[in-house]
Structures are given as C-alpha cells and as structure tokens.
C-alpha cells in the first residue's frame, strides 16, 4: 500500500511538471517577439518548468515583506508549534513563523548567492581572458596561482578562511567568490585559448586594436555562450556552498533567515516525525534542479546539436 501511494505521488508530480511546463511555454511563446518565441518553442518541458520555478523564487524574493505573514525575526508563538490556521507551517525553535522565515530566506540565500556568483564571474572571466590574450609570464603566474587554490577542497578552504576573517556576509561573499573564480578562470582561459588563434583576432591585432578592445569586441562575444551556461551551474554550486556553510554555522548568521541554518535549527523535529526541517532543504533542492534544467537546455542550444 505504501509503495502504491508513493508511486501515485510520483506520477502526480510528473504530470504536474509536464502540465506547468507546457502551459508556461505556450504562454511565453504567445506573448514573446517572433525570434524569442522561436527559441522558447524548442525548450523542453523540464526547462519550461524550471523557468516557472525560478520566476516564482524571484518574485518571492523581491516581494518578501508583502507576502510573508510575519516579520523575519518576530517571535510570534511558542517554540515548535504545529501547523494550524495561524502558523501554516508551524514555528521554529524560537517561536518564529516558519513560513515567513522561508519566504525571507529566499531573498537572503538566493540574493547573496547571485551576488557572489556575479562577483566570481567578473574576477574569473577577466583574469581568464587576460591570461589567454596576453600569454607569457602573466598567463603562467595566474594559472599557477589558480592551480594552488584549486588543490584545496573548496568547502574546507572556505571554512578555513571564514574562521580566520570572520563570518560576516561581506566576508562570506568575498571568500566564496574568490574560491569559485578559480573555476571560472579555468573555463574562460580554455575557451579563449581556442579563440585567440583565429584569423579575425590576428587581423584585429594587426589593425592595432588595444588589449581591452580586443577582449571585449573580438574574444568575449565568441566565448559568451559557454560562460553563460557556466554561470547557471556555478550559481548552483555557490548556492549549495552558502547553504552548507550556514548549516555548519559559518554562513549567514542569525537572526537573518537562511535555508541552511533553518535545517540545522529545526533538525530536532525529525526525531518526532515532523517534516518541517525538510521544507528549507526541499527549497534548496528544487531551485538547484530547476536551474540545472534550464542550463542543460542552454548548453544544448549553444552546442548546436539537433534532436
């Protein structure tokens, strides 16, 4: 009986994903300009569903104060109150509303992850494109420095640096951006190395184009597709890293709401069969999967492969 119930839930989830993805794709195709509509029409249903969920997360993050029934840090009841009409998802270990904390955590966790990923891409892309374009000792110096940083496991390195410099949000953003920029550097350099040998780049050099113009006008546009796809993947890794650090107590600090710390703070409820701690974990997993679905579609488009 339990197996049949689980199978029924799985079938219902699959049907829901297909229905939501198909509806969103049809709606966006109908309202989009022709070039964009043509691209969206080829999107798989998983990517369409992923875009719906990402859009919902963005809306929740932007309008969190208007959506949440209580404030982020307000103690509104006793600790670990059950789900009811007042507290739809119960309360946490301090008596704060879980639903409100989940909503505000979308703004904090996703927003900080996006800023961190953007900073990592700025650092890594600029350094990688510069190393590939200039070459010589600059390329060797940057590449060997990146090799040293990548030799240390990312999470352990982040824990070490945050223990030294402190656990403020600014420090966390800078530390994670520095660590993840090494991965972006490797990709940007590898892609740019195949572009700098092209004839049009050589022609630009012979015309006397400056270094910045050479990178921004000749190399970056041709390296943009894999970098955009990598941005989505890197966002997932940064997002999971921030959640892991918060779960370990070195990420986003209380009383700021964060999905990773919410799992840790309410893990006691799992002992009593309460699924409340799984809600922030599920929010993390759902966003990660949806971003990967959209990135997979973009990678497929960039590769030029046909179904």
pLDDT tens digits along 76-126: 888 888 888 888 888 888 888 888 888 888 888 888 888 999 999 999 988
Burial label, 53 (beta-carbon count in 10 A; 0-12, 13-18, 19+): buried
Euclidean distance between CA atoms 147 and 127, whole angstroms: 14
pLDDT tens figures, 22-74: 777 777 777 777 776 777 777 788 888 888 888 888 888 888 888 888 888 88
pLDDT tens figures, 182-196: 988 988 888 888 888
Euclidean distance between CA atoms 271 and 262, whole angstroms: 16
Residue 119: per-residue pLDDT:
92
Q: Where are the beta strands (DSSP E) in 228-302?
A: none
Helix then strand then coil, in percent of the chain rounded to 5, is: 75, 0, 20
Residue 8: per-residue pLDDT:
64
**Average pLDDT over every residue of 121-139:** 86
Q: Which residue ranges form the domains of the chain, and what is each CATH number? A: 71-303 (1.10.3720.10)
For a pLDDT cut of 90, what percent of the chain falls above it? 3
- Mean pLDDT is lowest, of 12-21, 75-84, 239-248, for 12-21
Going by C-alpha positions, the residue among 73, 74, 97 that lies closest to residue 87 is 97
Q: Where are the beta strands (DSSP E) in 86-140?
A: none
DSSP result, 33-81: -HHHHHHHHT--HHHHHHHHHHHHHHHHHHTHHHH-SS-SS-B-SSTTP
Q: Given the structure tokens 């209580």, which residue do they identify?
A: 70
Q: Where are the beta strands (DSSP E) in 103-256?
A: none
Burial label, 212 (beta-carbon count in 10 A; 0-12, 13-18, 19+): exposed
Residue 78 backbone dihedrals phi, psi, to 5 degrees: -75, 165
Residue 305: per-residue pLDDT:
46
For all residues of the chain together, what is the average pLDDT? Answer: 81
Angle at 39 between CA 35 and CA 42, to 5 degrees: 145
Report yes or no: 299 and 292 within 8 Å, Cβ to Cβ.
no
Output the six-digit token pair for 9: 């839930």
């Amino acid at each position: 009986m339990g197996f049949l119930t689980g199978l029924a839930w799985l079938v219902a989830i699959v049907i829901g994903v297909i229905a939501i993805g198909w509806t969103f794709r049809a709606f966006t195709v109908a309202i989009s300009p022709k070039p964009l509509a043509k691209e969206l029409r080829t999107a798989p249903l998983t990517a369409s569903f992923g875009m719906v969920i990402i859009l919902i997360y963005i809306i929740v993050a932007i309008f969190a104060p208007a959506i949440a029934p209580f404030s982020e840090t307000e103690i509104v009841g006793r600790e670990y109150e059950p789900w009811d009409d007042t507290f739809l998802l119960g309360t946490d270990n301090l008596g704060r509303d879980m639903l409100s904390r989940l909503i505000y955590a979308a703004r904090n966790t996703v927003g900080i992850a996006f800023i961190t990923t953007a900073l990592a891409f700025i650092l890594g892309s600029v350094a990688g494109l510069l190393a590939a374009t200039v070459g010589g000792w600059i390329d060797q110096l940057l590449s060997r420095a990146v090799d040293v940083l990548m030799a240390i496991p990312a999470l352990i390195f982040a824990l070490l640096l945050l223990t030294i410099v402190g656990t403020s949000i600014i420090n966390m953003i800078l530390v994670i951006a520095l660590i993840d920029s090494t991965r972006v550097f490797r990709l940007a350099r590898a892609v740019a190395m195949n572009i700098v040998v092209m004839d049009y780049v050589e022609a630009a050099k012979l015309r006397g184009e400056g270094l910045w113009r050479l990178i921004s006008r000749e190399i970056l546009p041709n390296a943009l597709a894999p970098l955009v796809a990598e941005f989505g993947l890197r966002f997932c890794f940064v997002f999971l890293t921030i959640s892991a650090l918060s779960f370990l107590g070195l990420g986003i600090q209380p009383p700021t709401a964060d999905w990773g710390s919410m799992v840790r703070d309410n893990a006691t409820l799992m002992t009593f069969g309460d699924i409340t701690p799984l809600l922030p974990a599920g929010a993390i997993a759902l966003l990660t999967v949806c971003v990967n679905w959209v990135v997979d579609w973009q990678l497929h488009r960039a590769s030029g492969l046909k179904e």
